[in-house]
Amino acid sequence: MRIAIVAAESSGDLLGAGLMRALRERRPDIVFEGVGGPRMQAEGMRLLEPMESLSVMGLAEVLRHLPRLLRLRRGLVRQWQAEPPDLFIGVDAPDFNFAVERALRGQGVPTVHYVSPTVWAWREGRVKILREAVDLLLSIFPFEVDFLAAHGVQAVYVGHTLAQAMPLDPDRAAARAARGLADGQPVLAVLPGSRRSELERLAEPFLETARRVQAARPGLRLLSPLVSEAQGALWQALIARHAPGLPIETSVGDSREVLAAADVVLTASGTATFEALLSKRPMVVGYRLHPLTYGLARGLRLVRLEHVAMANLLAGEGLAPEFIQGDCVPERLAPAVLRFFERPDEVAHIQARYREIHRSLRVDTDRLAAEAVLELLDRKGAAKDSVV
């Protein structure tokens, strides 16, 4: 059995690798090919294109890279139309994967989309495309399934692999000891995102915020985990440009340990807010889009939700202060960060809520996703046999 799969960024690489592993445990004959990152490659995927080729965000960025992305997508579709796989799985990246899924499904290839696009938050019109493009959607958050079912999309809640992988009670003492942190020494974790554009736009406000918080909290340690060595090098260069002399310690691939050691988190909106929630850390969320992207989103009223951070969406309330675009400035970020250092009762309430949410999300994601995929394949196979 041959499965084609496409993931476009680090979070998708993690989900895709777990699903691949669970599928192969149940069907050892499966072979995988497509686009992915190091985790999916480690699970034996035959790489057709590196994941970094697809990792762009925002309307403006997509427009700039559009000719290359379209060429890449056409090439993959042609290859898989010429030699159809038994199944196609698109992991997130809806603007890229929807067209692949629709083309292959039109040719009779069963299609699965892993991670619902935020059609319940913005660009709701995409749900029609989703309905046409996929046979099955694997949903990582429980509130999505009813919305999708109401719009004619078959969806199965499988949970988020991070909720299962991360402990309900992180070993804070061990994480702090590993970094030589003294008892009671305050720590601010700074997570500026996983994309180059995010790092470049958030460097100035985040680093100046860190400087102000450190000035107000003597002895504060600043820790900043990055996803890759390349991002670490870029972040170091941005620190040298925007905050020379700021004693911020960077690292690669250890965000969970840094979050466990931190008292407060300053983070970009995205997967990091979910990771901070699972770490039970109070967080302040900042985000800046390309001005064109933000202008289009506001002008076309594409955004429909009060909150953008997943931590707040899951909580149903604004536990994590959000500062977007023009509000994402040190004058607003720094007081919000300092508030958490100064109000332990408020932090304790937030941590209790995050623990409740984490407990509710702890399911065996890889197993549930693999079983749903195999059930689809068996159903499609039975239907094909009945026609024959």
**CA dist 279 → 228, 264, 368, 371 (Å):** 21, 11, 23, 28
Task: Tell me how far apart the alpha carbons of residues 222 and 77 are, in angstroms, rounded to a whole number.
Answer: 46
pLDDT for 10 equals 82
Mean confidence (pLDDT) of the chain: 89
pLDDT for 69 beyond 90: no
385 pLDDT tier (thresholds 50, 70, 90): low
pLDDT in tens, 198-218: 899 999 999 999 999 999 998
Average pLDDT over residues 355-380: 95
Lowest mean pLDDT among 64-68, 113-117, 165-169, 365-369: 64-68
Nearest alpha-carbon partner for 111 in 128, 123, 119, 99:
99
Residues constituting the chain: 388
pLDDT in tens, 115-126: 998 776 556 677
pLDDT in tens, 153-177: 999 999 988 898 899 999 999 999 9
Domains (range + CATH), the chain: 2-159+363-387 (3.40.50.2000), 167-361 (3.40.50.2000)
Pairing of strands 264-268, 221-226: unpaired
pLDDT for 288 equals 77
Lowest mean pLDDT among 128-137, 181-190, 194-203, 377-386: 377-386
Task: Tell me how far apart the alpha carbons of residues 372 and 131 are, in angstroms, rounded to a whole number.
Answer: 17
pLDDT in tens, 219-233: 999 999 998 898 899
The predicted model scores a pTM of 0.76
pLDDT for 60 beyond 70: no
Task: Tell me how far apart the alpha carbons of residues 109 and 89 are, in angstroms, rounded to a whole number.
Answer: 10
Do 246 and 222 contact (CB within 8 A), yes or no? yes
Task: Tell me how far apart the alpha carbons of residues 306 and 184 are, in angstroms, rounded to a whole number.
Answer: 36
Give Cα 224 distance to the centre of its chain: 18
Taken in order 321, 361, 37, 123, the sign of the CA dihedral is: negative
pLDDT in tens, 289-342: 755 655 555 544 444 556 678 889 888 899 999 998 889 999 999 999 999 999
Do 39 and 69 contact (CB within 8 A), yes or no? no
pLDDT for 291 equals 58
pLDDT in tens, 258-275: 999 999 999 998 889 999
pLDDT for 65 equals 63
Taken in order 141, 143, 145, 151, the sign of the CA dihedral is: negative
pLDDT for 297 equals 52
What is the rounded radius of gyration, in angstroms, for the C-alpha atoms of the chain?
Answer: 21
Lowest mean pLDDT among 96-105, 244-253, 300-309, 378-387: 300-309
